[in-house]
Amino acid sequence: MQNERRLAVLRAIVEDYVATEEPVGSKSLVERHGLGVSPATVRNDMAALEEEGYITQPHTSAGRVPTDKGYRLFVDRLTTVKAMSSAEKRAITSFMAGAVDLDDVVGRSVRLLSQLTRQVAVVQYPTLSRSTVRHVELVALAPMRLLAVLILSTGRVEQRVVDLPAAIDDDTLANLRASVNGAAAGELIAQATTRLREVAERAPETTSAITGAVVTTLVEAMSDHRSDQRVAVGGASNLARYGDSFDTAVRPLLEALEEHVVLLKLMGEATTGGLVTVRIGAEGPYEQLAQTSVVATGYGPSDEALASLGIVGPTRMDYPGTMAAVRAVARYLSNILDEA
Amino acid sequence: MQNERRLAVLRAIVEDYVATEEPVGSKSLVERHGLGVSPATVRNDMAALEEEGYITQPHTSAGRVPTDKGYRLFVDRLTTVKAMSSAEKRAITSFMAGAVDLDDVVGRSVRLLSQLTRQVAVVQYPTLSRSTVRHVELVALAPMRLLAVLILSTGRVEQRVVDLPAAIDDDTLANLRASVNGAAAGELIAQATTRLREVAERAPETTSAITGAVVTTLVEAMSDHRSDQRVAVGGASNLARYGDSFDTAVRPLLEALEEHVVLLKLMGEATTGGLVTVRIGAEGPYEQLAQTSVVATGYGPSDEALASLGIVGPTRMDYPGTMAAVRAVARYLSNILDEA
DNA sequence: CTCTGGCACTCAGATCCGGTGAGTGCCAAT
DNA sequence: ATTGGCACTCACCGGATCTGAGTGCCAGAG
């Protein structure tokens, strides 16, 4: 695959097919794009491209359609990610302005992303593992029952009810609150858990049972990987545009969207720095999703990847535009988390 | 509409149609159900039912299909809500067991409901307006910045960052925390807001600006109706079973599911006490959703309706079973909130 | 007055069939 | 290497035909 024009032909086929949703033939190709050669020449190139597996015909006497391999080449070598126009940037800014809490930020991001790309958007909540503890609050609900609230640097709040083995008085509670915060506040989750365990061990005999219960709950909350799997999904109505291929494309995708674990595996490892990952069709492990692609990237404050975000859609999509939108939203989201 | 047998025929038509998804004819009707009369007799009844608008034929020479009016009569007069089997009850209990926080409870409920009914489930988060303030926590983030955390009786937690007009020291913060909690803790939202405003007015000159900022933020968080509109949606993959009628049924529904405001209007006023509301097809204000029905009810601790929950699905659905499932989940959820 | 068997009628959906045209592959000429 | 020409293929479209489930109506029986 060295021939220069062939690449141009492939690019033209992909662009046309994405735009029209119909197999593209040699004649319409030379008309719509200004390649200065005749249809017959293009036909030769197409035959070669088909030979090499980049395109295929649905049936004889029909135009060509890109294969997964063709899309792959397209995104890897024929794509320059467009920058967002300043109008689009303004739109993003105004859309995100006024978000009040983490849920709100994530919710807005997912809506924004789905509107920009007209695809189904997925945003993972910031993972616990790389954030720090901002504050721990203990509130007495009843003599033998506490509410433990864990506030993290990403704005995330975890809460647990703790049933105590014995009643607790106000002084003990205040002491406990102070020591727990002294140990955990400002620390990374990993450090905080070990330091909290030390607190539990050093606790005076009289309160060790209570301290133990509280610490256990906190540590549990911090290492709760279930909550790492929280994701927000939006723009499912964009699936309506699939129209055709309901059974083969939409149904499995709808199912995948409910399986957050699957979804996160699809999005893959979070990476930052403007690197956008593209998984095309059957490249992934889920044969059900052979007709869907994933465009994803990581986000997080100061380029530290906290979580991933992206879209899922048909293999036949506008990759350059989608990649640009995903990158833009990830950057914006990272900035917001930086400030907060 | 007095004739006894006609009602039986209508019931049979509804049941058959729901089961087979195909227009039902007179012959198959008498076969499948043991009505002891001939097809010709049934035909006469069907003609009468059609005359009165309870059923209709898609085209001449086809079987009959229930109209919205027919379904309405069916649920109003021909339905006895089944009790859940004890096996189903056990399933519910084990499914909900081990939920750790409000998000988790709501998330499990919505999944449970969608699995029980094989429809799209919707659960509204408990509204702020009828819950009480359990505790207010103020955490210093920076000299001039606080995090205000509002913990409500329903287990809901709201958080806001407050930018202060002046720096705050630890003593002032402690005082402020005490007075805010004194005013708000244990009160209903409505009372809490007025009492908080009093606190702001009575604040000594030196701290009035700071107090004002904090109180304003808290009051704002409490009256934030945006967060009343939080809902969880699950089981969208059940839409795949619509198969046919993608454009007329699935697409508008997918769109409605993203518009939480619309969704909440559909679910309507929350009512408790086992009363399940059913809205059938075009009875609602949204003509887009002429082919979908809503089965909903309210839930909340001690039979006080905090929010609503239910399912949306095709008008052609198993109403008795669905109503039973909705009622069961609402009860279970109410119990959980009662304990917490 | 109600029910039933019989019968002619209707019409959506399946099946068949020839025509049309976009698109192809191949070849000889430039 | 490129191009114009040409024969060929085959999905798709529209019309014609067939089939059968289901209906409405009527006359006779209970």
pLDDT digits (tens, 9 = 90+) for B259-278: 888 898 888 776 777 789 99
Closest nucleotide (CA of B61 to C1')? D22
CA distance A224 to chain B (A): 11
Average pLDDT over chain B, rounded to an integer? 88
Is there a single domain that holds both residue B185 and residue B151?
Answer: yes
Choose the final residue of a domain: B175, B193, B226.
B226
Task: State what percent of residues in chain A have pLDDT above 70.
Answer: 96
| Distance in angstroms (rounded) separating the CA atoms of residues A173 and A166 | 12
Over residues B64-88, the mean pLDDT reads 91
Size of interface A-B (CB pairs under 8 A): 86
Question: How does residue B60 score in pLDDT terms, banded at 50, 70 and 90?
Answer: confident
Is there a single domain that holds both residue B248 and residue B334?
Answer: yes
Higher pLDDT, B30 or B303: B30
Is there a single domain that holds both residue A198 and residue A328?
Answer: no
Contacts of B249 in chain A (CB under 8 A): none
Residue B208 CB coordination number (10 Å): 14
Is there a single domain that holds both residue A138 and residue A219?
Answer: yes
| A319 pLDDT higher than 80 | yes
Higher pLDDT, B235 or A227: B235
For residue A312, the model assigns a pLDDT of 95
Q: Which residue has the tokens 């807005």?
A: A108
Question: How does residue A119 score in pLDDT terms, banded at 50, 70 and 90?
Answer: very high
| A243 pLDDT higher than 70 | no
HEC string of A14-29 equals HHHHHHHCCCECHHHH
For residue A244, the model assigns a pLDDT of 64
Is there a single domain that holds both residue A97 and residue A110?
Answer: yes
Is there a single domain that holds both residue B147 and residue B204?
Answer: yes
User: Which region holds residue A201: left if phi is over 0, alpha if psi is between -120 and 50, else beta?
Assistant: alpha
Out of A19-28, A71-80, B2-11, least confident range:
B2-11
- Provide the CATH number for the domain around residue B327: 3.30.450.40
Residue closest to B18 by CA, chosen among B121, B123, B118? B118
Over residues B312-320, the mean pLDDT reads 94
- In a domain, residue A280? The reply is yes
For residue B223, the model assigns a pLDDT of 82
| A1 pLDDT higher than 70 | no
- In a domain, residue B171? The reply is yes
Over residues B193-203, the mean pLDDT reads 92
| B121 pLDDT higher than 50 | yes
Is there a single domain that holds both residue A39 and residue A100?
Answer: no
**Domain tally, chain A:** 3
Over residues A303-329, the mean pLDDT reads 91
- In a domain, residue B136? The reply is yes
Over residues B123-137, the mean pLDDT reads 86
Strand C contact nucleotides, protein CB < 7 Å: 3-6, 9-12, 21-27
* Contacts (Cβ under 8 Å, ≥6 apart) of A20: none
Is there a single domain that holds both residue A333 and residue A199?
Answer: no
A75 sits in which H/E element: helix A68-77
For residue A85, the model assigns a pLDDT of 86
Asked if B267 and B294 count as a contact pair (C-beta separation under 8 A), the reply is: yes
Q: Could you tell me the pTM of the whole model?
A: 0.84
User: Which of B149, B235, B254 is closest, CB to CB, to A149?
Assistant: B149
Interchain CB distance below 8 Å, B235 and A258: yes
Q: What are phi and psi of B190, to 5 degrees?
A: -60, -50
User: Which of B149, B155, B258 is closest, CB to CB, to A237?
Assistant: B258
Higher pLDDT, B249 or A133: A133
Find the closest chain A residue to B140 by CA distance.
A135
Average pLDDT over chain A, rounded to an integer? 88
pLDDT single digits (tens) B156-175 = 888 888 999 999 998 999 89
Choose the final residue of a domain: B226, B249, B268.
B226
- In a domain, residue A81? The reply is no
- In a domain, residue A325? The reply is yes
User: How long is the CA A78 to C1' C26 vector, in angstroms?
Assistant: 31
Interchain CB distance below 8 Å, B236 and A254: yes
Interchain CB distance below 8 Å, A237 and B246: no
Choose the final residue of a domain: B37, B56, B76.
B76
Instruction: Determine the structural domain holding residue B287 and report its residue range.
Output: 86-125+230-339
Over residues B22-47, the mean pLDDT reads 89
Q: How would you classify the pairing of strands B120-124 and B231-234?
A: antiparallel
CA distance B21 to chain A (A): 18
- In a domain, residue B277? The reply is yes
Is there a single domain that holds both residue B201 and residue B217?
Answer: yes
Is there a single domain that holds both residue B221 and residue B269?
Answer: no
- In a domain, residue B81? The reply is no
Strand D contacted by B271 CB (< 7 A): no
Using the Cβ of A260 and the Cβ atoms of chain B, whether some distance falls under 8 Å is answered with no
Over residues A122-135, the mean pLDDT reads 86
